[in-house]
Amino acid sequence: MTAVDEWERQLASAEELTQKAVERIVAVHGDRGVRAIEAVDERRVKGYRDFTVVVGHEEEYIVEEDSCTCKDAEYNLDADDPEQLCWHAIAVRIARAIDAVDEHEMWYSEVKDFL
Protein backbone atom coordinates (compact mmCIF):
# COMPACT_ATOMS: atom_id res chain seq x y z
CA MET A 1 0.00 0.00 0.00
CA THR A 2 1.36 3.41 -0.96
CA ALA A 3 1.35 6.51 1.24
CA VAL A 4 -1.32 7.93 -1.07
CA ASP A 5 -3.56 4.91 -0.47
CA GLU A 6 -3.04 5.33 3.28
CA TRP A 7 -4.14 8.95 3.51
CA GLU A 8 -6.97 8.33 1.07
CA ARG A 9 -8.33 5.50 3.24
CA GLN A 10 -7.90 7.65 6.33
CA LEU A 11 -9.99 10.39 4.71
CA ALA A 12 -12.69 8.01 3.50
CA SER A 13 -12.95 6.53 6.98
CA ALA A 14 -13.24 9.95 8.66
CA GLU A 15 -15.47 11.32 5.86
CA GLU A 16 -13.82 14.70 6.36
CA LEU A 17 -10.49 16.42 6.05
CA THR A 18 -9.00 15.92 9.51
CA GLN A 19 -5.88 17.62 10.85
CA LYS A 20 -4.08 14.27 10.93
CA ALA A 21 -4.92 13.67 7.26
CA VAL A 22 -3.84 17.19 6.31
CA GLU A 23 -0.48 16.63 8.02
CA ARG A 24 -0.02 13.30 6.24
CA ILE A 25 -0.91 14.73 2.82
CA VAL A 26 1.50 17.63 3.28
CA ALA A 27 4.23 15.27 4.55
CA VAL A 28 3.88 13.09 1.44
CA HIS A 29 3.25 15.79 -1.18
CA GLY A 30 4.60 19.07 0.23
CA ASP A 31 3.40 22.21 -1.55
CA ARG A 32 1.37 20.15 -4.03
CA GLY A 33 -0.59 18.76 -1.08
CA VAL A 34 -1.20 22.25 0.31
CA ARG A 35 -2.49 23.49 -3.04
CA ALA A 36 -4.74 20.43 -3.39
CA ILE A 37 -6.26 20.96 0.06
CA GLU A 38 -6.93 24.62 -0.79
CA ALA A 39 -8.65 23.61 -4.05
CA VAL A 40 -10.92 21.15 -2.23
CA ASP A 41 -11.70 23.72 0.46
CA GLU A 42 -12.60 26.24 -2.25
CA ARG A 43 -14.80 23.66 -4.06
CA ARG A 44 -12.72 23.82 -7.24
CA VAL A 45 -13.01 20.07 -7.96
CA LYS A 46 -15.85 19.70 -10.45
CA GLY A 47 -17.42 16.43 -11.53
CA TYR A 48 -19.03 16.24 -14.95
CA ARG A 49 -20.52 13.29 -16.81
CA ASP A 50 -17.38 12.82 -18.86
CA PHE A 51 -14.51 14.21 -16.76
CA THR A 52 -13.40 15.43 -13.37
CA VAL A 53 -11.97 18.93 -13.64
CA VAL A 54 -9.92 21.00 -11.23
CA VAL A 55 -10.19 24.74 -11.64
CA GLY A 56 -6.74 26.26 -11.39
CA HIS A 57 -5.85 29.92 -11.12
CA GLU A 58 -5.35 30.30 -14.86
CA GLU A 59 -6.84 27.19 -16.49
CA GLU A 60 -9.00 24.16 -15.87
CA TYR A 61 -7.34 20.74 -15.82
CA ILE A 62 -8.88 17.39 -16.65
CA VAL A 63 -7.93 14.57 -14.28
CA GLU A 64 -8.57 10.92 -15.18
CA GLU A 65 -7.22 8.07 -13.04
CA ASP A 66 -4.43 10.25 -11.56
CA SER A 67 -3.43 11.49 -15.01
CA CYS A 68 -3.72 15.23 -15.54
CA THR A 69 -3.49 17.64 -18.44
CA CYS A 70 -1.23 20.07 -16.53
CA LYS A 71 2.41 20.78 -17.41
CA ASP A 72 3.59 19.60 -13.97
CA ALA A 73 2.24 16.10 -14.63
CA GLU A 74 3.58 16.10 -18.17
CA TYR A 75 7.13 17.27 -17.45
CA ASN A 76 8.01 16.94 -13.77
CA LEU A 77 6.49 13.73 -12.45
CA ASP A 78 7.42 10.08 -12.89
CA ALA A 79 4.27 8.42 -14.25
CA ASP A 80 5.51 5.06 -12.94
CA ASP A 81 5.66 6.29 -9.32
CA PRO A 82 2.14 6.16 -7.81
CA GLU A 83 3.09 8.68 -5.11
CA GLN A 84 4.11 11.39 -7.58
CA LEU A 85 0.92 13.26 -8.35
CA CYS A 86 0.27 16.83 -9.41
CA TRP A 87 -1.83 18.92 -7.07
CA HIS A 88 -4.86 18.56 -9.35
CA ALA A 89 -4.82 14.75 -9.07
CA ILE A 90 -4.28 14.98 -5.30
CA ALA A 91 -7.25 17.36 -5.04
CA VAL A 92 -9.47 14.91 -6.95
CA ARG A 93 -8.47 12.05 -4.64
CA ILE A 94 -9.15 14.15 -1.55
CA ALA A 95 -12.50 15.42 -2.85
CA ARG A 96 -13.67 11.94 -3.81
CA ALA A 97 -12.62 10.47 -0.47
CA ILE A 98 -14.63 13.01 1.53
CA ASP A 99 -17.49 13.39 -0.97
CA ALA A 100 -16.58 16.99 -1.79
CA VAL A 101 -16.68 16.91 -5.58
CA ASP A 102 -18.93 19.67 -6.92
CA GLU A 103 -21.11 17.53 -9.20
CA HIS A 104 -22.63 18.89 -12.42
CA GLU A 105 -25.13 16.87 -14.44
CA MET A 106 -23.73 17.97 -17.78
CA TRP A 107 -20.92 17.12 -20.18
CA TYR A 108 -17.71 19.07 -19.65
CA SER A 109 -16.94 18.83 -23.35
CA GLU A 110 -20.10 20.92 -23.97
CA VAL A 111 -19.61 23.32 -21.06
CA LYS A 112 -16.00 24.08 -21.99
CA ASP A 113 -17.16 25.81 -25.18
CA PHE A 114 -18.93 28.44 -23.04
CA LEU A 115 -15.93 29.16 -20.81
Full-model pTM: 0.93
Pure H helices in the chain: 3-14, 19-29, 31-41, 71-75, 87-97, 108-111
Give the sheet arrangement for strand 52-55, strand by strand. 67-68, 60-64, 52-55, 45-47, 102-103
Give dist(CA 115, CA 58) in Å, integer.
12
**Segment 86-115, tens digit of pLDDT:** 999 999 999 999 999 999 999 998 877 665
Torsions phi, psi for 80 (to 5 deg): -85, -5
Question: pLDDT tens across 45-72, in order?
Answer: 999 999 999 999 889 999 999 999 999 9
